A and B are shown apart, each in its own frame.
Chain A
Amino acid sequence: MKRTGAEIILDSLVAHGVHSVFGYPGGACLPLYDALYHYQDRLNHILVRHEQGAAFAADGYARASGDVGVCIATSGPGVTNLVTGIAGAHMDSVPVVALTGQVPRNLLGTDGFQETDATGVMLPITKHNWLVMNAEELPRVMEEAFHIANTGRKGPVQVDVPKDVFLEEVEFDGFPPPRIPGYNPDEGTQPDPTQVRAAAEVIYGSEKPIILAGHGIHYSDAYDELLAFAEKANIPVITTLHGVSSFPESHELSFGMVGMHGNLYANWAVDRADLLIALGMRFDDRVTGRLEDFATNARIIHVDIDPAEIGKNVATDVGIVADLKPTIRALTDEIERLDHTPWVKQICQWREDHPSLAIRETEIVLPQWVIRQIYHITNGEAIVVTDVGQAQMWAAQHFWYDRRNTFFSSGGLGAMGYAFPASIGVKYARPNEQVWCIIGDGGFQMTLQDLAVVREHDVDVKIAIINNNHLGMIRQWQTLFYESRFMSAKLENPDFVKLAEAYGIPGLRASTKSDVVKVLKEAEKIPGPVLMDLVVDEVEKVYPMVPAGSSLAETIEGDEVEEARYA
């Protein structure tokens, strides 16, 4: 059968069950768009308003669905606009296929119009990428692209296609199974039984164990296994930022999040533990604080799909390279039922004495309180997509996640502008669930152009702007570490409600507590997208906090200014 390069690419998307793709056309990929014209019955193309949004949306789609997200951009500026989103997917191991147009083959290397060394630019921020010089290679490359993106430690890949390769007609007889001699993600997915036994021995020798659950729980779909293991071994569970929503937070063994803005008692528990069972997490510096003083008394069992993560940042006692799901199951089968009541009680006592998530009774609208209201009004059933900054941390802390895989955030890269386009991708992946985008006034202005997208496609995303009229996290750091010399922290904001209306979307504003409740309830009832401008206190800081360069043991609960304000 004769097929063009573009048709082979689109056939591949269809074959992989992709139904929505996010992209932006341009000269070099017009042939692909022309082919898309004929695939509209099978492929839903969402025209974002900036390519960065396409990458973020594909990322959100992938995380929420467990499938691969797809984004499309043209050569030159199209590709460079994708970079932030792809870098984020790379940091957070999100399976995304980026299809990029390139100048025709005869112009490659000539600095042709809109020529960028796209594979060169993307090389360090993709799991792998290809410049496809012949349409004949496309069946193999597309198959490898999906395979590599969505297996092992997942990640984004890029397929860069010269304009004339899209148009090239070749004989096509289906997609060959991927055969890549240097890539065997399946090996090592089952845990080595001797290591499982070794881990069990270490667990038996522990009186104060902690489970650190990370992003891997979601990718491995190891929720049931984690729950069963924690219960059988009676071990407290603490999550990383990406581990949020991997373990029900109302569970008696849940102690929330660890790290720079982790709960005081969670940080103390990790600091004083004699064993850390790290499941699908990578000991990022935002988790560990000062590394030399991280969990100094703890032995470490580390399970990860990526061998390079074992021993990278911390020395491990038992390192298991395997898929989490079978590993946790094997561990659960291996161990006897255990009882760590004194240790669990100790952490509960710390929580009682230092309730990190208590919110002060105030007249003014505290941002954390707003998040708590969103939690109540949605019955805790919303999917939350957060941006970066203070609002992100409050959303992680003060909304309680009992449902699996319902919290999405730009973690590793910490890219402002993520939440809004990502929430569009999330909504496409999980159309029957409520999606709330919790975002700062700063971050929203990085990618707000996709208001046009939610209007055009009636994407039901509730946009909650936590508006403190500041780059709040910048203000917080300048307060704490730069003697309150506020430089470029204050924001002169537009009228967000009018902005929403200009895009044809209902906009609601609240600046008192009673209005906040009213607005949230109203927004929840309106079908389709709504923008909420929730005006909150400008100077509130995120606590607890581990100041940069400090250890988890040095977590602070607040500061004098804060104390004085509420005295």
Chain B
Amino acid sequence: MRHVIIVDVEDHPGVLNRIASLFRKRAYNIESLAVGHSHRPGISRMTIVVAADHNEALQVVKQLDKLIEVVSITDVTEQRHVSREMALAKVAAPEMKRTEILQLANVYRAQVVDVSPGSIILEVTGDEDKIDSFVEIIRPYGILELTRTGEVAMVRGRAMPTPHVLVEEGPAA
């Protein structure tokens, strides 16, 4: 099954390399990985989606947690969380088809972000299912290019567990 894992890492060069290396070495199946700055300076947040059974997912979490630069890690699969992905799709859109495509886009709350002669770029946001079905719906019109960000996730309600130790100024306790 799919496991959604949120990882906070120190923002160092090579961190991504360590994570990728671990996945390769242990032959874990990565479905997507999205990374960007978090609300805390110096800490990036990753959302990693892996295909794994329960025990495997537990191992993924424990092995990732051993990486020195991993500050905190949570498998949120079983927790109430929201997850979103964004896709940009460049669709062939001759004059005569354009309205039809735009109507469909509207159903999915997709934004038109570029209109060029013969094609348009649509931006759609949602969970994986929504993106998948959107892609299937517009496929017959001719998808010229598709790019997806991979899933980002966040637990509902309370804040994520804080890291074991906060980086603070001043001498350590």
Contacts and interface: CB of A to CB of B under 8 A. Distances in A.
A128 B58 CA distance: 22
Contact of B68 (A119, A124, A128, A311): A128
A182 B55 contact: no
A307 interface: yes
Given A120-B17, A123-B17, A148-B68, A179 B165 contact: yes
A187 B72 CA distance: 14
A154 to B, nearest CB: 13
Interface string A118-133: 0110011001100100
A267 to B, nearest CB: 26
B25 A177 contact: no
A368 B10 CA distance: 53
A120 B172 CA distance: 31
A131 B12 CA distance: 11
Interface in B1-27: 9-10, 14, 17-18, 21, 25
A182 B67 contact: yes
A132 to B, nearest CB: 12
A184 B164 contact: yes
Interface string A176-190: 010111111001000
A124 B171 contact: no
A306 interface: yes
A190 to B, nearest CB: 16
Contacts of A148: 68
Given A179-B165, A181-B164, A308 B66 contact: yes
Given A177-B172, A182-B10, A307-B62, A127 B167 contact: no
B165 A307 contact: no
A123 B163 CA distance: 24
Contacts of A308: 59, 62-63, 65-66
A308 B25 CA distance: 15
B166 interface: yes
A182 B10 CA distance: 8
Contact of B72 (A179, A182, A306): A182
B164 A187 contact: yes
B69 interface: yes
A66 to B, nearest CB: 22
B61 to A, nearest CB: 9
A360 interface: no
B62 A182 contact: no
B70 interface: yes
Nearest to A183: B68
B165 A184 contact: yes
A312 interface: yes
B10 A181 contact: yes
A148 B66 CA distance: 11
Contacts of B62: 307-308
Interface size class of B (residues with CB under 8 A): 20 to 34
A350 to B, nearest CB: 34
B71 interface: yes
Interface in A163-193: 177, 179-184, 187
A182 B163 contact: yes
B166 A312 contact: no
A276 to B, nearest CB: 19
Contacts of B67: 182
A312 B56 CA distance: 9
B21 A123 contact: yes
Contacts of B18: 123
B68 A127 contact: yes
Given A124-B21, A177-B171, A182-B71, A311 B66 contact: no
Given A123-B21, A128-B68, A181 B59 contact: no
A308 B69 CA distance: 16
Interface in B76-120: none
The residue among B25, B66, B70, B166 with the most chain A CB atoms within 10 A of its own CB is B66
A153 B63 CA distance: 13
A181 B17 contact: no
A175 B163 CA distance: 25
Nearest to A129: B14
A311 B59 CA distance: 8
Interface in A487-529: none
Contacts of A311: 55, 58-59
A181 B166 contact: yes
A124 B68 CA distance: 13
A358 B65 CA distance: 47
Contacts of A124: 21, 25
Nearest to B60: A308
8 contacts: A124-B25, A131-B14, A180-B68, A181-B167, A182-B10, A182-B68, A308-B59, A308-B63
Given A120-B17, A124-B21, 10 more contacts: A123-B18, A180-B165, A181-B10, A182-B68, A182-B70, A182-B71, A182-B72, A182-B164, A306-B66, A312-B59
Report, nearest first, the 6 A-B pairs whose CB atoms are least far apart: A308-B62, A182-B71, A128-B68, A184-B164, A179-B172, A181-B71
